[in-house]
A and B are shown apart, each in its own frame.
Chain A
Amino acid sequence: MLKILKYSFYDLIRSRWSYVYFLFYLLLGFVLLFLNNDVSKAVITLMNIIIVLVPLIGTIFGVMYYYNSKEFIELLLAQPIKRSSIFLGQYLGVAGSLTLSLVLGLGIPFVLYGLFKSDAIFDFSLLLVTGAFLTLIFTALSFNIALSNENKIKGFGYAVLLWLFMAVIYDGLFLMSLIIFKEYPLDTFSLVATMFNPIDLSRTLILLKLDISALLGYTGAVFKQFFGTDKGLFISIFMLVLWTVIPIWRLSYKAKRQDF
């Protein structure tokens, strides 16, 4: 698997897109720091961007890369390599290089700015950790979609729909149900609903760590009680891990049964 990982990683490092992505974050980091002149505020703005953009890039990049490397996969399938190694190697190559672009692109400007002396270091690290999780999750989901759809246009469509649903529609439905059922106690419902969307989960996690739960309005207090504690943090991270592991597991399961 390491060999496959190596080749797909090299392949991506050589491609223009990894650099564009890296430079974008580098620029974003520098601009935000110099506009805000305040690490904490920059972290909040960054969060708003990361929460939406990282899943989108992971999704699109994942689908594109899978379809582009179909020939490579076919070539490898006739070689003495385990099937799951081929797919996991490819997946880790994409997800790894995207994560690296994100972490380095944002990390460099913040380190240069003097992050280590600031007390925002924990918030910032949490931001990078959730960003990394979102990359892993959405790349895995998009690989699943691409593997199940021979037709590129369809696969691409489903992937974008998935992102749209998670990033936008889910929140809309969530808010609507809060309004419709406002007579009922909704604490548990909101908590669970947040858990089932990795984007919401990441957002909540960061916002509460930043101690601006007032922004969350209605359920803010309940959320703070839950996510604010170590137990809440632990459960949230655990959920993010689940969100990562389940699609990866399905990817390997599905790959073993596919005809090429």
Chain B
Amino acid sequence: MIQVENLYKKFGKNEVLSGLNLTIDKGGIFAVLGPNGSGKTTLIKSILGMVVPNKGDVSVSGIAIKKNWKYRQEIDYLPQIANFPGNLKVKELIRMIKDIRQRPSDEQTLIELFKLDSFLDKKLSTLSGGTRQKVNIVLAFMFDCPLLILDEPTTGLDPASLIRLKELIKKEKANGKTILITSHIMQFVAEVADEIIYLLEGKIYFKGSIEQLKKKTDQTDLEHAIAAIATTPANA
């Protein structure tokens, strides 16, 4: 599904990704973890073609993404920071994205699920942070793409919405999708993730199941395992 080979990215002098390799081939939920500023968003944006790497290759479904844009038809993306054009109404935004993507969509169920009906006629600039995140979720889930990339999907959600989001994610997994998630909420990760990808110093420091991670770090819960991982030698 996703292949990242020897990826390098610098912002000025700040080398964020230094020779990162990653292969994800089957469906399931992959949690991309790492400290703030470790390059999770940068990696995701490189896969989406929003960040242009200095070196290395990325391919999605066997197609090299360089100079290509059609592969994004198969990707649904939820950005970490939901920057929307403020002067649009929620329903105008949804209609516009549908018009651009031209594929079947199921926004109505999602709007009901997250109780967004009363916000459809509001301008995006007037929404609260959590409501905006719900709109963000609707836009990411309304198409039926095989690859779903969620950058911090839980940001700002109340507990009830968080439960709905988890159900939604599990349902998509059951449909056989590949889902890439970043999050700092370990409880959430422990609940949904099949595999952990831990980013540190521009490389994949650990990749494996939660069980493997716990065993490796000698910890009993995920939160402590993640906290301990950076002090554990990579090939212990």
Report which A residues bind B (CB closer than 8 A): 3, 7, 11, 69-72, 74-83, 256-260
Contact = CB atoms under 8 A, between A and B. Distances in A.
Given A78-B72, A80-B69, A80-B73, A259 B51 contact: yes
A70 B87 CA distance: 13
Contacts of A76: 100
B97 A79 contact: yes
B86 interface: yes
A116 to B, nearest CB: 40
Interface stretch (B77-85, B106-114, B170-178, B213-221): B77-85
B123 interface: no
Interface residues of B, number: 25
Nearest to A83: B69
Indicate the member of A69, A72, A77, A80 with the most B CB atoms within 10 Å. A80
A219 B23 CA distance: 69
Contacts of A74: 50, 79, 83
A71 B84 contact: yes
12 contacts: A11-B87, A70-B83, A75-B97, A76-B100, A77-B50, A78-B50, A80-B73, A81-B69, A81-B72, A257-B52, A259-B11, A259-B45
Contacts of A72: 85
B50 A259 contact: yes
B99 interface: yes
B94 to A, nearest CB: 12
A79 B51 contact: no
A238 B87 CA distance: 39
A75 B85 contact: yes
Contact of B100 (A3, A71, A82, A258): A3
Contacts of A77: 48-50
Interface of B: 11, 45, 48-52, 69-73, 75, 77, 79, 83-87, 96-97, 99-101
A156 to B, nearest CB: 19
A103 B73 CA distance: 39
A79 B48 CA distance: 9
Contacts of B70: 80
Closest 3 CB pairs of A and B: A80-B72, A71-B83, A80-B73
A14 to B, nearest CB: 8
A75 B83 contact: yes
Contacts of A3: 99-100
A79 B79 contact: no
B85 A260 contact: no
Contacts of B72: 78-81
A71 B77 contact: no
Contacts of B87: 11
Given A260-B45, A260-B50, A79 B86 contact: no
Contacts of B100: 3, 76, 79, 81
A78 B51 CA distance: 11
A69 B83 CA distance: 10
A81 to B, nearest CB: 6
A7 B96 CA distance: 8
A75 B84 contact: yes
A259 B49 CA distance: 9
Given A7-B96, A78-B77, A80-B101, A258 B52 contact: yes
Contacts of A260: 45, 50-51
Given A69-B85, A71-B86, A79 B50 contact: no
**Best-buried of A11, A77, A256, A260 by chain B (most CB within 10 Å):** A77
Nearest to B71: A80
Contacts of B97: 75, 79
